[in-house]
Amino acid sequence: MRKKLLLVNLTVIIFASVLVAQDKSQRDIERKIEDSVNVPQIATGFESKKRSLPDLERIGVDMAKQRPLTLREAITLALDNSKDIEVSRQNVKGAEYDLQAARGFFEPRFNGQSYFEKSKTPNVSIFSTNQSTTNKSLVSSIGLQSFLPKFGSALNLNVNNQRVETNNPIAILSPQENTNLSFSFSQPILRGRSIDQARRTIEIAKKNLSLTDAQFRQKAIEVITNVQRAYWDLAFALRNLQVQIDTVKDARQQLEHNRRLMEEGQLAPIDVVAAETQVANFEQNVYDALNLVQITENNLKILIAKDKDDSIWSESIVPIDPVELQAPRITLSDALQVALENRPELELNNLQREINAIDQGFYKDQTKPQVDLTASYTSAGIGGSQNPGFKSPFPLPCQTAPSSPACQQQLSLINALTGSSLNDIFANRYPTFRVGITVSLPLFGNQTQKAQLGKSLVEAEKIKLQREQIEQLIQIDVRNALQVLRTAEARLRSASIARENSQKQYESEQRKLDAGQSDIYRVLERQTALAIARSNELKAQIELNKAIAELQRAIGNVLQVNNVQTTNLHLKNNELSKR
């Protein structure tokens, strides 16, 4: 027995020694840390004596100038004033001009030139007695060129006129007019018949116009969703501010009640101090809530204000739409079907696929041989006046035998040459017809065009893979949005029950305090819990509203649900693309 007692005493002594050694070691470590850190002493003994509350106001906002605003009005302002939307509008206008520029290739083109020329050349003819010959020429030409978009045909119409005056004595006419009217036609048979670079540019410009239109709708959906989030955030912030103000009122009533109980001797003075601290904490919550109102309102204003000078910046926005939105009931399969029909990302992918199909058709056509059918017709005419200085080096029939048939033939020839050259053209006296084929074949298999065709086929595979990826992302987006919506509904239910029970618990704890069965600290704890529960209930409803907006964005029916019409823009683009 003595051995057992000795063993127990020995164990106790050893355990106590270990505890003492550990305590000493801990003190040594703390002393070393304090000595090594050597923290400077700043504002030692500082205690703020300020007890007055600052003004409860908002910077740059006149609280008296309240502006009621519905969600519909906020969306309209955002669509009218958003810089992103305006950039999208300008992109659409730019695409319209691109299409007009591409179609300008097929507009008929008028061309012409006119010049005067005077030349002096040495005489090299044995039939002329002049040492030099002086020619004065007035040349004019006009033409009309046009390309037909149907089959790639090219048409050219040209009229050329030349008036020449000369001192050459062997020239029969001076001045002499040479005029011709020509018409030419070129028709691709293989390459360029169904599509060419100009028509490819037009078709791509049409798709780009639709592309910018889809991007406009995508940007509109993004802006509307952001406005919805900001609108409901502001609604929560304002309601939360009111909750915090009401909580301060309740806390002050509780403080007055505690003071009466203290005067009656039922509570100690320290209990009143605890209630005063509770009031001060709740008053700080009011200023935090006011700060949240300022931040959320600015987030909404930046979306709907026209510019920095807009009067809305000095106004207090008051959301007036009811916050109790009903969650839509839609199955996953239906939501996915709607999303695949409405999401602009898929429309953009479809337009990219259509542009790629245009490229494939063009590059496939370019691999064909170049074989063009050409035809032309020219009608020429000559006219003018007989050269007064004409001297023939040979005797003429009219000089040797004026009454001979040869003289008559000579006079008839001169009469045919003189006069207007247009008479010859309209009489079709000197026509020229030409029909032929122009062929251009690459010697080494046209590798450039084949490579471009291959690249377009690769691009088609990329677009296909991108579509599959987009569809998967949309599916994830819809699934997550539906799940968030269900979670938000459950959170609202839980928050509502928690607020009801917190109200009951707070009232019960107050009755217990009056009956002497509780203490002030439990009452203050219930009071804090009730304030938090009230804020959480409204926050849960706002989160449900934002979840509804997110589901609308996920399934792509934001424009339809919010009655936003882009019909005028669509009609404008469609009419332009059909011109």
Q: What is the CB neighbour count within 10 angstroms for residue 493? A: 11
137-151, 194-208, 392-406: the lowest-pLDDT one: 392-406
Q: Does 177 share its domain with 230?
A: no
Distance between CA atoms of residues 334 and 556, nearest Å: 12
Given a contact cutoff of 8 angstroms between Cβ atoms, the answer to whether 117 and 139 are in contact is yes
Angle at 109 between CA 107 and CA 112, to 5 degrees: 175
Q: Assess if residue 6 is contained within a domain.
A: no
> pLDDT tens digits, residue range 325-347?
888 889 999 999 999 999 999 99
Q: Assess if residue 300 is contained within a domain.
A: yes
The pLDDT value given to residue 397 = 67
For CA atoms 102, 104, 107, 109, the dihedral sign is negative
Torsion of CA 533, 534, 539, 544, to 10 degrees: 90
Distance between CA atoms of residues 569 and 8, nearest Å: 96
Q: Does 73 share its domain with 126?
A: no
Distance between CA atoms of residues 381 and 157, nearest Å: 16
Q: Does 296 share its domain with 433?
A: no
For residue 270, what are the contacts with CB-CB under 8 A and spacing of at least 6? Answer: none
Q: Does 383 share its domain with 482?
A: no
The pLDDT value given to residue 572 = 41
At 381, list the tokens.
């005419």
Torsion of CA 410, 412, 415, 421, to 10 degrees: -110
The domain of 414 spans 110-191+370-440
Q: Does 338 share its domain with 485?
A: yes
Please state the rounded mean pLDDT for residues 145-156. Answer: 90
Given a contact cutoff of 8 angstroms between Cβ atoms, the answer to whether 179 and 536 are in contact is no
Q: Does 346 share its domain with 375?
A: no
**H helix intervals, 515-566:** 520-555, 558-561
For residue 349, what are the contacts with CB-CB under 8 A and spacing of at least 6? Answer: 463, 466, 467, 470
Q: Assess if residue 17 is contained within a domain.
A: no
Q: Does 261 share its domain with 325?
A: yes
- pLDDT band for 262, please (50, 70, 90 cuts): confident
Distance between CA atoms of residues 91 and 93, nearest Å: 5
Distance between CA atoms of residues 341 and 348, nearest Å: 12
Check whether 548 has a pLDDT greater than 80.
Answer: yes
Q: Does 377 share its domain with 356?
A: no
The pLDDT value given to residue 59 = 86
Interhelix angle 332-342/520-555, rounded to 10 degrees, is 50
CATH of the domain at 261: 1.20.1600.10
Of the candidates 419, 440, 461, which is a domain's last residue?
A: 440
pLDDT top residue among 554 and 578: 554
Q: Does 337 share its domain with 470?
A: yes
Residue 51, amino acid: R
Given a contact cutoff of 8 angstroms between Cβ atoms, the answer to whether 128 and 169 are in contact is yes
Q: Of the segments 286-300, 377-391, 400-414, 504-518, which one has the largest average pLDDT value?
A: 286-300
At 109, list the tokens.
């083109």
Q: Does 161 share its domain with 226?
A: no
Distance between CA atoms of residues 577 and 100, nearest Å: 9
> What's phi and psi for 346, nearest 5 deg?
-70, -35
Q: Are strands 173-188 and 370-386 parallel, antiparallel or unpaired?
A: antiparallel
Distance between CA atoms of residues 158 and 182, nearest Å: 5
Q: Does 168 share its domain with 225?
A: no
> pLDDT tens digits, residue range 38-54?
667 777 776 666 667 77
The pLDDT value given to residue 460 = 94
The pLDDT value given to residue 113 = 93
Q: Assess if residue 25 is contained within a domain.
A: no
Number of domains the chain is built from: 2
